[in-house]
Amino acid sequence: MSAPVEFAVWAPLPERVRVQVDGTVHQMRRDGDGWWRAEVEASPEADYGFLLDDNQTPRPDPRSRRQPEGVHGLSRRFDPSAHEWGDGAWTGRPLAGGVVYELHVGTFTPEGTFDAAIGRLGHLVRLGVDFVELLPVNAFNGTHNWGYDGVLWYAVQETYGGPAAYQRFVDACHQQGLGVIQDVVYNHLGPSGNYLPEFFPIFAEGANTWGNSINLSGPDSDEVRRYVIDNALMWLRDMHVDGLRLDAVHALVDERATHVLEEMAQEVDKLSVAAGRPLTLIAESDLNDPRMVTPRVAGGLGLTAQWSDDFHHALHSVLTGESQGYYADFAAGGLGGLAKTLTGAYFHDGAWSSFRRRHHGRPVDTATLPGWKFLGYLQDHDQIGNRAVGDRISATLSPGLLAVGATVVLTSPFTPMLFMGEEWGASTPWQFFTSHPEPELGKATAEGRIGEFAEHGWDADVVPDPQDPETFTRSKLDWSELSKEPHERLLAVHRSLLALRRAHPDLVDPDLSAVQVTWDDADRWLVVHRGSLRVVVNLADEPREIELDRRAADVLFATAELPDLDGATVTLPAESAAVLSTR
């Protein structure tokens, strides 16, 4: 049923704006701030778009909630309040003490939809994780994509099911006790379907790795910042999301006294109070600057947490022996480098970075910042997908070392994160895939990807074509692996470790200053002190005898055969780990 509706759009650049609603064009009036408005009779699901100046092709709404025909088509009205939420008992949960599970909707299930993903939530509950983190779902050009080529930040990708299916997914997660974190991208826009520059000055001078920089502090940037922050609030308020992962915040160039991240954190905190549940902001930051997650009252930006790539790099290089590119410093650091990240979060804490050819980072004050403010992981979408062939670490390591890596992550003082399929050592790769309909853009993307890896010594013939549909299909999880070895055993390891975290407070103690680590690079063993518990790790291909600082009383967990305990001496089987009680 039609009713009067105000259509509004911020468009200070065109001289004239009209709105087309269900095929009928209406004039709009402009106010002094560059907003255009018109009251029009429209149905709840009316299709509409904006005609700018003399262009007769309607453009989608920059704040469109739904794009049923893709990012080049008309927008469709969507009322987020129409969903009848069933999560009334959900009061949220803080990030501290939790475990995050990162997944990509399009490759998590064969169907690649929100509704299909709902059918797999029981697996996550049985696994023992607390949060589902979704790779970006904002509308992008084409049918499948990692999600970082989004061009309409307010719309949910239609091939996943659109906004209504997204709400059903969040609702189902909450009803099963899982929080939802949404990955969002505010540092660039995708290469196709971005009509925002026709409406307003979305871009500033300069560019980053992925595209033009967003205008956060230049002329007319007040409304651009509002566009960013309102989008963050939309996910948390209208979609009941519990947190946001902010992509590559080091690429947000903001010269104002109050950084856009600090402003966002302030507004999210206000919304958290109004909503009566904790709301989380997690940064992906390459800066190694602890001020990112330092509370505002202490002079920081006030974000909740950040990813810790240094911990990943240190653990990856120790397990695999890889030393190319940015792994060089971590490989040179050996087990001592891993120990440094376990006790201080950053490896580059003002130290020399050979990859950057400069000193990088600053130390974390472990007396004031808890470890849970840093997400620790053995794998994530970037560290798999940005390898030339998208090979998971399970393609390189033995089942024993995979279990060792899981033990280090899940007993660490950080907030652990798993990437989908990691828990069973999925054999499927996770490759870089795109579906640009424009042949020239698809060709340029493929050639650029292949050329990038060729420069680093990879054989161009082995780099998959991102535009080949098989690259996307290969990246889908094979759920039949769960009941097969060695996958079933590794899944049991992850479930046992997650249960152990819940049962023993020492394993979720975030006090970095209380973590002690001993190691031997030559014999390849490591011991992490977690309160009265000792996490003992043997990376060698033969048993190792390890002397502890005190008598080991009991074995709480082991990845393989039980270690031999003789007072303070532990004999650990090859490529294994154990968690020991000392009282």
Spans of the chain below 70 pLDDT: 455-457
Cβ–Cβ < 8 Å for 413, 342: yes
d(CA 60, CA 158): 14
Q: One fold for both 3-82 and 508-581? A: yes
Q: What superfamily does domain 3-82 belong to in CATH? A: Immunoglobulins (2.60.40.10)
Annotated catalytic residue within 102, 130, 183, 247: 247
Sign of torsion over alpha carbons 374, 378, 380, 382: positive
> For 508-581, which CATH class?
mainly beta
Q: Is 62 within 8 Å of 152 (Cβ atoms)?
A: yes
In tens, the pLDDT along 40-72 reads: 999 999 999 999 999 999 999 999 999 999 999
CA-based radius of gyration for the chain: 25
What secondary structure letter does DSSP report for 59? B
Maximum separation of any 2 CA atoms in the chain, in Å: 85
| Amino acid identity for residue 460 in this structure | A
The number of angstroms, rounded, from the C-alpha of 81 to the middle of its chain's C-alpha atoms is: 27
Is 47 considered catalytic here? no
Catalytic one of 61, 130, 254, 284:
284
Distance between CA 583 and CA 576 in Å, rounded?
Answer: 22
HSE (side-chain half, CA atoms, 13 Å) at 162: 16
Is there a catalytic annotation at residue 284? yes
Binding-site members for substrate are 245-250, 309-313, 381-386
Q: Which residues are annotated as a binding site?
A: 245-250, 309-313, 381-386
Q: How far apart are CA 281 and CA 303, in angstroms?
A: 5
Q: Are 194 and 232 in contact (CB under 8 A)?
A: no
Q: For 37, what's the count of Cα atoms within 13 Å in the CB-facing half-sphere?
A: 9
Classify domain 100-309+370-438+469-502 by CATH number: 3.20.20.80
Q: What is the domain partition of the chain in residue ranges?
A: 3-82, 100-309+370-438+469-502, 508-581
pLDDT at 456: 66
Q: Report pLDDT for 179.
A: 98
Helix (H/G/I), strand (E/B), else coil: 240: coil
Q: Please tell me the distance from the alpha carbon of residue 522 to that of residue 552, in angstroms, as a whole number.
A: 23
- Both ends of the chain: CA-CA distance in Å? 70
The closest of 393, 470, 378 to 107, measured between CA atoms, is: 470
**In which residue are the tokens 């109070």 written?**
273
Contacts of 313 (CB under 8 A, 6+ apart): 326, 327, 330, 347
pTM of the complete model: 0.97
285 neighbors 250 (Cβ within 8 angstroms): yes
